[in-house]
Amino acid sequence: MFCRLLGHKYEVSRSVTYYVKEYKCRKCNKQLTTNSKGHLVELTPKYKEINSILSKIHNKKKAKLRREELLIAYKMTS
């Protein structure tokens, strides 16, 4: 109810990818996320689903990158 007067106090609750993050209001727990256009929208169940898929893809990419880095490091030292 304070947010109506003072505005929300959002903080990042989860980093999905480098560009997509989830935000949560410290006072009323209202949640927002970044959509594909980079705009802030309400975190609906639909967006939660999209974000969990994005997060899986993102983590896979990171893991692949790490493997490639290790391979390069290995080649350089051998």
Q: Which residues bind Zn ion (CB under 5 A)?
A: 3, 8, 25, 27-28, 30
Which is closer to Zn ion, CB of 29 or CB of 77? 29
Which is closer to Zn ion, CB of 25 or CB of 54? 25
Helix (H, G, I), strand (E, B) or coil at 78: coil
Q: DSSP letter at 56? A: H
Which is closer to Zn ion, CB of 5 or CB of 76? 5
What are the CA-CA distances from residue 64 to residues 33, 57, 61 (Å)? 26, 11, 5
Minimum distance, C-beta of residue 65 to Zn ion, in the bound complex (Å): 37
